[in-house]
Amino acid sequence: DETIEEEVAEQKQQQPEQEEEEEKKEQKSNYQKTNLPSKDIPEPDIFSPSQSIMEIPDGAKKYQVTGSFKTHWKEYVQQPFVTKPVKIHDWKAEHKDQGALVDTIFANPAAPRRVYVALKIKRISDIDNVRETYRCRFHVYFNWMLTETEYLNYLEYSKTNNADRKSEWYPPFIPRYEFLNIVEEHLREEEEYGREGKYRVQRITDFDKELIGFDPKNAFFVRMKLEMDATFCEELELESFPVDVQDFSVVMREGWGSHKAIFVPEIRTRKPKPEKKDGGGDGDGKAKPEKKDERWKPSDFARVDPSFSVLDEWEFHNSRIEFRSSVPSESRSETQYFLLTIRFKMRRKWSVYFWNVVLYMFFITLMSMSCFALFDASIAGERMALAVTLLLTAVAFQDVVTAELPHVAYLTL
C-alpha cells in the first residue's frame, strides 16, 4: 500500500511537468507552421506596424514607390484601387434605389494608403532667439480612401446607430501622425463634424481626376480635422545676424511606415465664377463658354494667414511644403517613414538693431577718440581713465546684446 501511494504521488508530480512540455511542443509546432513558408498559408496583404521595409510581402512590393517625391510625385499621389459593386449609404443623394448595388472604388488593401493632407497656418508667435523656439497654431485635414472591408464595417455600424445620435464610429485604419521637433504641446484636438463624429465618411468630388488616377465621385473618403497649437524648436543660423533670414519648420511624420501609409498633397480643384460680358459672345449678353483648362483651377492645399501672428521683430516672407521619405538606416527597425515639413521663411527687421545697438556702439567708439585730445602729460591718468571707462561701457553694452542671442560657437555680423 505504501508503494502504491508513493507511485501515485510521483505521477501527480510528473503530470504538470508533462503537460507543460506538451504545451511547449504545441507552441513550437504552431510557430513553425506560421513562420515557415508553406503553400497552404498565403502571404498576408495587410502588415503590422512592427514590420520593417525589408519584410514587405511579395503581394505588396509591386505597389511600393522607390523614387523621390520630386521625380515620382504622380506615382505617390495615385492611390491603387479596386472596383466592387456594393450597397451605398447615400443612395438618396445619388438618386439610387435602396439596396441597389453600385460600382464603387475602394483602396487596394495591399498598397500603401495615400493620406491626402491639407493645412492652414493660423498664427505664428513667441519667437525666442535665446531658446531657439517658436509657437504655431494650425489645423490639418487628413483624407484617405476606404477599403471595401472598412466601408462595409461603416455600413454595419450605420444600421445599428440612431441617426439622431452622434456617430462614434472609428475607422479600422487611422493615420499615425507625430511631430518630431515639438517642445511643448498646448492643444491637440481632433474636431468633430456634428453628428458625424470625428471621422466623416463622404465623397470628395472635386479631386483632380487626371492626377489621382480615378473618379472621386465613385469613391468614399474619411475626413478628419486636427487642431494643433504647440511650441516647436528650430536651430537658428546667426552668422548674418541681425540681417539674417531664418526657416522655421514643423516636421510631421507618418508613424505606420511608408509601406502602409504616406502623406501626399490634397489635390483638389475649384470652379471659378463665370464672368458675364455685356454684348459679347453670340450677341445675347451671355458669356462665352470657357475652355476646359480655364474652368477648373487647382486649389491651394496649404495656406498661411499671418494676420493674427505676433512677429515683433520679424516679418513673414514666404512658405513652402516638402514631402519626402526618411532614410531607413536612421531607424533601429530599418523602417522608412514618410515626412511632411512645413517651412516658414522669416526675415528679421534689422532696423530695430541698427538704431538700438549699432548706433549706440558707434557713438561709444566715437567718444573713445576724444582720448587723443587729452595730450597734456599732467592729465595722462584722466586720459587712461576715460579710455577704460568707455571700454567698460562697450563691454557692458555687448553683454546686453549677447543676452538676446543663444550661445553660439561662432561670431555674428
Say how far apart CA 145 and CA 221 lie, in whole Å: 4
Distance CA 200, CA 315 (A): 37
The reported pLDDT for the residue numbered 50 is 37
Task: Give, rounded to a whole angstrom, the gap between the first and last alpha carbons of the chain.
Answer: 102
Residues 6+ apart with CB under 8 A from 1: none
How far are the Cα atoms of 32, 46, 51, 58 from residue 40, in angstroms, in the given order?
13, 18, 22, 16
Q: Helix (H, G, I), strand (E, B), or coil: what is residue 22?
A: helix
* Grid coordinates belonging to 155: 455600413
Among candidates 263, 140, 144, 260, which has minimal Cα distance to 201?
A: 144
Cis upstream peptide for 85 (omega within 30°): no
Classified as helix, coil or strand, 306 is helix
Backbone angles phi, psi at 116, to 5 degrees: -80, 125
Question: Looking at residue 276, what is its pLDDT?
Answer: 54
**Which DSSP string do the residues of 205-267 spell out, in sequence order?**
TTB-HHHHSS-GGGB-EEEEEEEEEEEEE-----TTTTS-EEEEEEEEEETT-TTTEEEEE--
The pLDDT of residue 10 is 62
Bridge partners (DSSP) listed for residue 81: 107
Measured distance CA(174)–CA(255) in Å, rounded: 11
Residue 60 main-chain phi, psi, to 5 deg: -110, -10
Q: What is the pLDDT of residues 195-251, one digit of tens each?
A: 889 999 999 988 888 888 889 999 999 999 999 999 999 999 988 888 899 999 999
CA-to-CA distance for 106 and 99, rounded, in angstroms?
19
Parallel, antiparallel, or unpaired for β 221-233 and 200-202? antiparallel
Pairwise CA distance, residues 404 & 359, whole Å: 17
pLDDT at res. 62 = 81
Q: Coil, strand, or helix at residue 252?
A: strand
Locate all alpha helices (DSSP H) within 54-189, ordered by sequence.
58-61, 73-77, 148-160
What confidence score (pLDDT) does residue 274 get?
58
Rounded CA gap, 358 and 413, in Å? 11
Element (H or E) spanning 361, and its range? Answer: helix 359-368
Cell of 258: 511608408
Task: Give me the pLDDT at residue 41, please.
Answer: 34
Residue 230 CB: number of other CB atoms within 10 A?
A: 18
State the pLDDT at residue 45. Answer: 38
Task: Compute the distance between CA of residue 30 and CA of residue 47 in angstroms, rounded to an integer.
Answer: 20
Cα dihedral 201, 206, 210, 216, rounded to 10, equals: 30
CA dihedral 177, 180, 186, 190 (to 10 degrees): -10
Q: Would you tell me how many other CB atoms lie within 10 Å of the CB of residue 307?
A: 7
Q: What pLDDT, on a 0 to 100 scale, did the predictor assign at position 40?
A: 39
Q: Are the CB atoms for 332 and 368 separated by under 8 Å? A: no
- Backbone φ/ψ region at 283: left (φ over 0), alpha (ψ -120 to 50), beta: left
The pLDDT value given to residue 34: 39
Instruction: Please state the length of the chain.
Output: 413
Beta strands, E only, 49-169: 81-87, 101-107, 113-128, 133-145
User: In angstroms, rounded to a whole number, what is the distance separating the alpha carbons of residues 305 and 336?
Assistant: 33
CB 390 within 8 A of CB 368: yes
Residues of the chain with pLDDT under 50: 2, 28, 30-55, 279-280, 283, 289-290, 292-293
